[in-house]
Amino acid sequence: MSPEHLAIAMFIGVLVMVIAGVPLYLALGGLGLVFGILGGWAPQVFNQFTSRIYGLMASEVLPAVPLFVFMGALLTKSGAAEKLFNALYLAMGGLRGGLALTTVFLATLFAATAGVIGATETAVGLMALPAMLKRGYNVPLACGSICAGGTLGILIPPSVMLLLYGPTAGLSVAKLFIGAIGPGLLLSGLYLVYIFILCIVKPEYGPPMPKEDRNIPALKVWYEILKYMIPPLFLIFAVLGTILVGIASPTEAASVGAMGAVLVAVAYRNFNFRVLYDAAIQTLRITTMVMFVAAGAMMFSGVFMALGGAKYIGATIVALPLGKWGILFAMLVVVILLGMFIDWIGILFIVIPIFTPIATNLGFNPLWFALVICTNLQMSFLTPPFAYSMFYLKGIAPKEVTMGQIYQGVFPFIGLQIIALTLVIIFPPLTLWLPSLM
């Protein structure tokens, strides 16, 4: 079998093993090892495995991953999210769909402190879903708003996805962070506008809070909002602001954010050994998952490129009679299809080495292309069959909420993600204007 055929077999093997339920890191690393031996590189493939893991551990950027995850976990467990949620709902409860609007707004705010979707969606979902079901909200709308809002944590900085993308593509993580603010806020804005319009057209989908429940002085409501919103905002500006003006690297800014999260928990009088332990365990689990998948993916991509798979796929894509924009569309479709079956970490390590040189040769700005791909990867959390955002919600939802209702709820938000992706492609300043100010 030729090297190109082995590379294609590797690619198909990943999809088969993941669909069969094999953990992604085992599928990627195992296939890399087996096909490396089949390719005739038995001694070299073992050396590559150890050298690539060492290179991963020696990265100057990746230490920011556990720090940002810890910041989000501790801030979530500090109690700020629940109290801010209640205050925001009192302020927006008079609107139709006010609870769903509050959910997306809060998810956007905490996305800028978490870096991953699991912590954000779980925290917001545990508060918002029972409240919306109690108020008689349309179940698919309630589920869709939580799932879509939760996915913002993987794009809005500080994002673990951007932390991994930068070193892999040779791009500045700081510029990726600043460039992702535009697409992230665009997605959040589209979600809010959709919910607002839908609940005006169909008032029964999001009934407003009864007047008797809103009989609270406005001054007290705004005091509660400011009290519980200022600390997270301070953390966001401390982290992103120091990166934007060049005072700190992403890793240094992550350490500032982690320490700031500790101070916020102390200020809210909710810092104890149990909170610290839970945040540390959650950080350990997420970081370990990221590192294991990254190690397996690097093993896979090394063998895949050595077999000529990247060159073969790249030459095939470039040879398509579609023009540069048609080729870009083809690459985005590939990412969407992969997102239906493979975790986003594996997708990054598989497609970045293949697609980045193609995009550069076609004349696309590498930073713009990176943020287009990352915006596209938002859909991987909502597109079945392996839609992790829906799985997170199902794990915390009451038994009466079915998987069918969750699927029904996320489809409109997938459409909004496609609209956002189109706007990011048509209007490059959405991603490039802020980085140009650095």
pTM here is 0.83
Tell me what the mean pLDDT of segment 70-89 comes to: 76
Instruction: Kindly tell me if the per-residue pLDDT of 116 is higher than 70.
Output: no
Q: How far apart are CA 10 and CA 19, in angstroms?
A: 14
Helix axes 344-361, 323-339, angle to 10 degrees: 170
Give domain status of residue 25, yes or no.
no
Whether residue 22 lies inside any domain: the answer is no
E strand or H helix that includes residue 408: helix 403-426
Average pLDDT rounded to a whole number, residues 149-155: 86
Tell me the pLDDT tens digit for each residue of 355-395. 888 888 888 999 999 999 999 988 888 887 777 788 778 87
Residue 30 lies in a domain: no
Query: What is the C-alpha separation between 428 and 424, in angstroms, rounded?
Result: 6
Residue 364 lies in a domain: yes
**Average of pLDDT values for 126-140?**
86
Residue 16 in domain: no
Q: Specify whether the CB–CB gap between 139 and 385 falls below 8 A.
A: no
- Residue 419's pLDDT is 95
- CA gap 333, 376 in Å, rounded: 9
pLDDT tens digit sequence for 401-428: 888 888 888 999 999 999 999 999 999 9
Residue with tokens 């401390």: 238
Contact 18, 24 (CB under 8 A): yes
CA distance 102 to 145: 10
The answer to the question of residue 86 being in a domain is yes
pLDDT tens, 356-367?
A: 888 888 889 999
Angle at 137 between CA 219 and CA 413, to 5 degrees: 100
Is the pLDDT at 68 greater than 90? The verdict is: no
Comparing 85-94, 251-260, 424-433, the range with the smallest average pLDDT is 85-94
Provide the pLDDT for residue 9: 82
The winner for highest mean pLDDT among 40-49, 65-74, 410-419 is: 410-419
Give, in degrees to the nearest 5, the angle at Cα 296 between 55 and 151: 100
Report the percent of the chain where pLDDT is more than 90. Answer: 17
Residue 397, Cβ density class (10 Å: 0-12 exposed, 13-18 middle, ≥19 buried): buried
- pLDDT tens for residues 170-204? 888 889 988 999 999 999 999 999 999 999 999 88
pLDDT at 428: 93
Closest by CA to 81, choosing from 268, 306, 254, 239, is 268
pLDDT tens digit sequence for 211-244: 766 667 777 777 777 777 787 788 888 787 777 7
Tell me if 72 is assigned to some domain.
yes
Domain count, the chain: 1
Determine the structural domain holding residue 89 and report its residue range.
Answer: 61-271+308-436
286 lies in some domain: no
In this prediction, residues 3-30 reach a mean pLDDT of: 77
